[in-house]
Amino acid sequence: MTASLPADATVTPVPASPTPLVTITPAPTGPTPTPNQPAALPTLRSEETEYIVQAGDSLARIALLHQVSVAQILQANPEITDPNLIEPEQKLLIPPASANELAPDFKIIPDAELFYSPSAVGFDTQTIVAQFGGKLARYQEELEDGTELSGAQIVQKVAEDFSVNPRLLLAVLENRSGWLTGKGDANIKEDYPLGLHDENRKGLYKQLSWAANELTRGYTLWSQAEVAVWTLADGTVVRIAPTINGGTAGVQYMLGLLLGNDEWKQAVTEGGLYATYLRLFGFPFAFAIEPLVPEDLVQPELVLPFKPGDIWYFTGGPHAGWGTGSAWAGIDFAPAGEEYGCYESQSVVVAAADGIVVRIGDGVLVQDLDGDGIEQTGWSLLYLHLDKNEDIDVGTYLQRDDPIGYPSCEGGYTTGTHLHLARRYNGVWIAADGNVPFELSGWVASSTGIEYDGYLTKDGQTVEAFDGRADLNQIAR
């Protein structure tokens, strides 16, 4: 289902009152969600093990990796006096994995409602927010770069950047704070509309960005069979029901970071987020698209995104397509040169395939490859950290090898001039080293299992990812 409002919807104009006066005919309730085969989740460890802290580790990451809670690690390592201070090479005793109970198997949303997928085509976030007329319709926020956005614009930006369905973001916000349809819950501070009390994540934009990142992380962890348990905000560890779907897993994981056991169980069953969805938009599974990613998916032919004969460097193996929670859909390339850090480069980035430009943003260009000019359907490519060609606008049809700009540091955090390239299909980030490996000019991506570490291989030749310029990561068409 793709329409934002059914054809027979009746809409009453909204006065300057926060009371919602919109009447939307909700999506009709249908049959129960399609059953899926139980997921092959990892077996829980029955014995304690030792772990050596790596650079960049946190106790939360180590706990997730070993399917235990931070509290369990702290209990096994009483010498840790500050959970925020662990050092590389430090040895930790990791207790056996255990779970107190089985998580609910209630399906909350289909996978298509988690992602910025075909089910979101035609959904007008601005109009929907205005029609509901709640606090969100009057909200304004200045981002760190000085840009001032309305509440609806923030929801849409987060949806596009993280590839998360705007309908889900609105439902989560309404469920947590009541901002979509009313004045907002008096117990929820404006700086923390999702109830995530983190000084580094103040404001709607950072709160929703956090939620979108963790929704995709939960989906990724479940779909790649990396976890068997969820650890909730109060330290409770629950075994994941193997019969849920990926969209439900994403919601369960994200809400588990906010809520303790009792609240969480209510939030992930019929009376929780599902009930909010039902009230706002109707039956979530009326928007289902199955399968969202076909098992026989084949990547279209792509070329390396630079001119034939130009020398570039493969600087980043498979890593997150956006944020830190998505599948490892991205790989990085840096231009030749003597400089390091952020600088202006004259090495041209070219289109890796034929397709229509469907979105342009800060350092971002998104190209639709299936010809319909819709970002949420079929294959799309994200070019990030791009100082784009000024002649290119949304709607421009690019042919393979057309120049589209230059590598830069624009758009997102980066320590040096480079290009980040990632793939999506129907809005889902497609892992560069997964069942449909990233292939560019015959070079096939693979991963070592460590983010950013990996290889490109072609006809017996191998190029290794390296954060710098050396013979081992030099590549050309």
AA identity, residue 56: G
- Average pLDDT score, the chain: 92
Q: pLDDT under 50 in the chain at which residues?
A: 1-22
Tokens at residue 125, please? 């976030």
Q: How many Cα atoms are found within 13 Å in the side-chain-facing hemisphere of 224? A: 18
Q: Residue 18 has what pLDDT?
A: 39
Nearest to 280 by CA among 136, 132, 152: 132
Q: Which residues have a Cβ under 8 Å from the Cβ of 44 and sit 6 or more positions away?
A: 67, 96, 97, 98, 99, 228, 229, 239
Note if the pTM is more than 0.85.
yes
Say which CATH superfamily domain 49-97 falls into: LysM domain (3.10.350.10)
Give the pLDDT confidence of 242-264 residue by residue, as tens digits: 999 999 999 999 999 999 999 99
Residue 136 phi/psi, 5-degree rounding, is -60, -35
Predicted pLDDT at 57: 87
- Given CA atoms 270, 259, 87, 321 in this order, what sign does their dihedral have? positive
Residue ranges of the domains in the chain? 49-97, 103-287, 311-476
426 within 8 A of 352, measured Cβ to Cβ? no
- In 3D space, the residue among 83, 85, 80, 56 whose CA is nearest the CA of residue 70 turns out to be 83
- Quote the pLDDT of residue 413: 82
pLDDT of residue 32: 75
Q: What pLDDT does 19 receive? A: 42
**What pLDDT is recorded for position 23?**
52
The whole-number pLDDT of residue 398 equals 97
- The DSSP 8-state label assigned to residue 178 in this structure reads -
pLDDT at 25: 65
Look at residues 348, 339, 323, 325 and name the one whose alpha carbon lies nearest to residue 419. 348
pLDDT digit string (tens) for 145-182?
A: 999 999 999 999 999 999 999 999 999 999 999 999 99
Measured CA distances, 8 to 4, 24, 130, 397 (Å): 12, 9, 19, 36
Place of tokens 């299936």: 370
Angle, in degrees to the nearest 10, between helices 204-223 and 151-162: 30
Q: Which amino acid is at 226?
A: E
Rounded CA separation 79/218 (Å): 31
In the block, tokens 């010809």 appear at 371
pLDDT at 128: 96
| 89, 52 Cβ separation under 8 angstroms | yes
Confidence at residue 421, expressed as pLDDT on a 0 to 100 scale: 98
Residue among 13, 273, 258 nearest 137 (CA): 13
Q: How far apart are CA 169 and CA 304, in angstroms?
A: 35
* CA 450, 382, 445, 460 torsion-angle sign: negative
The topology under which CATH files domain 311-476 is Glucose Permease (Domain IIA) (2.70.70)
What lies within 8 Å, CB to CB, of 368 at 6+ separation is 355, 356, 357, 358, 374, 375, 377, 378, 379, 380
